[in-house]
Structure 1
Amino acid sequence: MAIGDQSAEASALYDQFVAAGTCQAILTSFQHLCDSLDIHPTDEEWFYQTLKSKLTNWKANSLWTRLDKRFNHREYAGHKACATTRVLVIGAGPCGLRAAIECKLLGARVVVVEKRDRFSRNNVLHLWPFVIHDLKSLGAKVFYPKFCAGSIDHISIRQLQCVLMKICLLLGVEIYTNVGYEDLQEPSPEVSGEPGNAEQRGWRAKVSPPDTQFPATTLMCSLERMVRGTHCRGSPARSSEVNSPSP
């Protein structure tokens, strides 16, 4: 495909992503966009910069300008404040997604798991002025032009989730739906190959992806790379134990 054709295709896919109005439509359109640009969040140390360098149409550039301004806040230390931290967020509600964004801005590796595959909560949230300012600085109006226009200071939970999910994905947060959290297991010594040689095992989150929707090994591969930097092999299972390093 010629460079011009690829750029036009990516621009069209970006527009579809921006306009997507459901959880699955957002994830699907984002996957198509990444495929078109030949990138994947789990393969890039700083996915956002790679995406920004490949998606350069004027609409995307206006969003990059906003996000770059946010990235430049000194609290984030150039995206390195939490560069060695791995974060698992349980639940893709507004608070979980906003927490994922903040962790990603700080430089952490972030995975979100959500047991459902749709956003259906139409309850209306009234937002404090500082929350409105925060969301606008992250580009909320790009994805929802009516966001807090004029004297409006509210938004539905579903719409807010859609906005935050899109920001998460663009920053490189990995989001998995149909994955349920079961339990958190404390660290304990784990005997390695040689007798008397014990290796400390970190915190473990037990999750249950349905076999027909989400192979457990896919999630395991993603999170194992967060911990060990290695590939994961195995067969799909009903439940999985995901390791995290000790604090």
Structure 2
Amino acid sequence: MTQARFNAFMASTDVADTFQAFKDICTLDLPSEPQSPTSSFYETFKAAVAPRVIYRQKTLFAVLDRKLVAARAGRVVSTKPFEPKRFVVSGAGPCGLRAAVELAAIGHSVTVVELRKDFSRHNMIKTWRGTVMDLGTLGLGQYTGFAPHGMLHLETRVIQLVLLKTALLFGVRVSYDVGVCGLVDPAFHPTESNRFAAWTLPSVDARAACRCRSATAAPAADEPAELALKPSGVDDIEATGERRSKVDFIQRAVTADGAVLPRNGTLDPRATLLEFDGLMIAEGEASTLLRHLGFDRKYARFAEAIGMVVNLEFSPAVATAQRGVRSPELLLKEFVIGRTQAGWSKGILGDLDRAGVQIENVEYMRGLRTHFMVVTVKRASLLAAKVIKEDLGAIRDTLTASNVDLVELRRFARSIASSAGIPSDAPFCDRHGVQLFDFSSKAMTMQSTRTLESETGARAFVLPIGDAFQAPFWPQGLGVNRGFQTTLDAVHAAHTFFADSPDAALEERAFSRRTSEWMTLQDSHLRPPTAEEPWTCDPVSRYDIAIYKMIHKHDMADKNVLLSRAGFWKDRPAFDDSDGQAVAAARIPMPKRISEALGLVDTRGRAIVSPGA
């Protein structure tokens, strides 16, 4: 029965159940042939399923209909008819899936590959209201029943679940337990349609291939989750990187084309080829693919900072509580407290301090099924609690598996959780129950794009997104929130590359990067999306006009910008955005499309908003 199968799809909570429910619907309810040659997968799915489900579930299709209308109305204005392109997204984290959904909504063909087998992250993310509303335009309320309230936060896995389901409905092909090992140039190894291709292997083999290619590869699948540290890279680049200042370092790419299988190379016979016109790399900060495609990375180092994340399931008392009676642990108030706040000694920090445990700050949030705590802890406290066996100097060395007592780490985490009121019988989550990580630095790629060109004439556009592009300073809480914005900026550039021109794409991407960095991006700097006007990949639909006005006013007052504007993009191939100082000095001009759309200049390029406005 269609209703029952769709119920299973809507209620699924993990990758396997979602795929099985979706497969059942596709096999048993969808016609073998689309209604018409021009019908999209989503239109075929909706026509077969929507008439057979209850009214409340029909609202999902109404929400997604509005999203598709907005996305396609926002396509780049071009004299050329729209031509769908093939995109591969490497990484199914929140930003990778967000990119896939937007590309598919525009009308492109998208394939996503992910090394993990399932949603392994329980972490809570403090979400901006705009981020939650954006997810609402993609089905959040229909899939989970979530409604914005109080201190907004969502589990990473919930964000991924919502985006995965909508991606499947939009026709995105998603493969878990698979990884991208490298790229294939059609001039060296012919591909079916003369496109560049990503070659993939099952995750175990893909991880091995990455470890062989680089010593900085992601941790092996069997490494203790507690020590799957967020890699800062700072310890390495102090010795091997370029120092720009006391706190700024540059880590140059290992190679420019090392990820491309050489002419005399042999393709693994087990490999699957995924041809693409555009490649979005969402593999996180430790991406080896980027390091071998010529992407440099800049780091800003701060004082040593060690974080500890604790994920606990609800205690058995929650499941056994009488109907209508809430377990006390579900009445715990969420909180954030640090030593800089007045009265900190009267709460949990004071209790821990008197017990000899010194931590800088602690935050507690509760999800649908789990408790979540994140703590900034001093190295001395970890040593005193015997979590660290000995101080080996650098964080990367000190927190190696052989130097951390996992039993003591869990005991330490349990003591902090108990101080917050979490019952002692609340079990640690199976995966990432407690995890240490280093957030002593933040990093960003120095190039926003890369164009691959083959002797055959094939061309492909490569863009890093999410933490692979920009890994922000953790306490700022900008990860997914800002990640969604820079990801949508990248999607806009990728679409513009093919719908308009490569030069227009480079201009749009460079200026959107300037816009997002104009000030520390906050929720108030964005236009709130609505059901009628959801965010699209076009930056004008998302960034508040006030930011554009500030940039415009600044540029109008700067004669150097006015003088350089006309010729700035003329010699674009010679412009290297790897030099951050050059980018800042150049003050990348606002694209005429944006200034005209916002009414900042007239059609002849004359300013409407004067410098004194």
What is the TM-score with the length of structure 1 in the denominator? Answer: 0.74
Contact 1:47 1:171 in 2 (8 A): yes
Counterpart in 2 of 1:180? 179
Q: CA deviation at 1:243?
A: 2.9
Question: How far does residue 47 in structure 1 lie from its aligned partner after superposition?
Answer: 0.3
Cα distance change of structure 1 residues 82 and 127 upon mapping to structure 2, 3 Å threshold: farther
Match of 1:30 in 2: 22
Name the residue aligned to 2:90: 90
1:50–1:190 distance in 2 versus 1, CA, 3 Å:
same
Counterparts of 1:159-170 in structure 2 under 5 Å? Answer: 159-170=158-169
Change (3 A) 1:240 1:207: same
**Residues 80-107 of structure 1, C-alpha deviation per residue, up to 9 Å, x if partnerless?**
9864211111111110101000000100
Contact 1:121–1:157, Cα closer than 8 Å, also in 2: yes
Q: Where does structure 2 lack aligned partners over 5 or more consecutive residues? A: 205-268, 278-457, 460-613
Alpha-carbon separation, structure 2, partners of 1:97 and 1:172: 13
| 1:240 aligns with one of 265, 269, 272 | 272
Question: For residues 200 and 33 of structure 1, do their structure 2 counterparts lie closer, same or farther at Cα, with a shift above 3 Å needed?
Answer: closer
Q: Is the helix fraction higher in 1 or 2?
A: 1
SS at match of 1:29: helix
CA distance in 1, matches of 2:177, 2:199: 14
In the alignment, is the contact (CA less than 8 A) between 1:22 and 1:119 conserved in 2? yes
User: Partner of 1:61 in structure 2?
Assistant: 58
Where does the alignment leave 5 or more consecutive residues of structure 1 unmatched?
A: 1-8, 193-198, 212-236
Judged with a 3 Å threshold, the aligned counterparts in structure 2 of structure 1 residues 60 and 40 are, in CA distance, closer, same or farther, namely farther
Deviation of 1:66 after TM superposition, in Å, equals 0.7
Q: 1:82 to 1:110 in 2, by over 3 A?
A: farther
Find the counterpart in structure 2 of residue 17 from structure 1.
9
Q: Structure 1 segments of 4 or more deviating over 6 A?
A: 40-44, 189-192
Q: Deviations over 1:19-48 (max 9, x none)?
A: 001111111111011112135799985100
Residue 172 of structure 1: how far off its partner (Å): 0.9
Give the whole-Å Cα distance in 2 for the aligned partners of 1:40 and 1:97.
Answer: 27
Distance 1:153 1:11, change over 3 A: same
The structure-2 alpha-carbon separation of the partners of 1:176 and 1:41, relative to structure 1 and needing over 3 Å to count, comes to farther
Task: Point out the more displaced range, 18-27 or 33-42.
Answer: 33-42
- CA distance in 2 between counterparts of 1:152 and 1:34 reads 38
Q: State how far apart, in whole Å, the 2-side matches of 1:42 and 1:184 are.
A: 33
2: CA distance between counterparts of 1:121 and 1:129?
Answer: 22
Q: How does 1:1-247 map to 2 (within 5 A)?
A: 9-39=1-31, 46-55=40-49, 56=51, 57=53, 58-73=55-70, 74-76=73-75, 83-146=83-146, 148-188=147-187, 201-209=194-202, 237-245=269-277, 246-247=458-459
SS in 2 for 1:181: strand
* Backbone CA RMSD of aligned residues: 3.1
Q: CA deviation at 1:163?
A: 1.1
Q: Report Cα offsets for 1:38-85 as digits up to 9, x if no partner.
A: 3579998510000111112223321111111111112048xx986421
Count of residues in Structure 1 that have an aligned counterpart in Structure 2: 206
**What is the distance in 2 between the residues matched to 1:81 and 1:159?**
37
Question: Which amino acid in the other structure matches residue 101 of structure 1?
Answer: V
* Preserved CA contact (<8 Å) 2:11 2:143: yes
Preserved CA contact (<8 Å) 2:34 2:44: no
Render the CA deviation track for 1:191-233: whole Å, top value 9, x for unaligned.
Answer: 89xxxxxx9932121100379xxxxxxxxxxxxxxxxxxxxxx
Does the 8 Å contact 1:210/1:238 carry over to 2?
no
1:76 and 1:105 in contact (8 A); partners too: no
Q: In the TM superposition, what is the alpha-carbon distance from 1:135 to its structure 2 partner?
A: 0.7
Kept in 2, the 8 Å contact 1:189–1:200? The answer is no
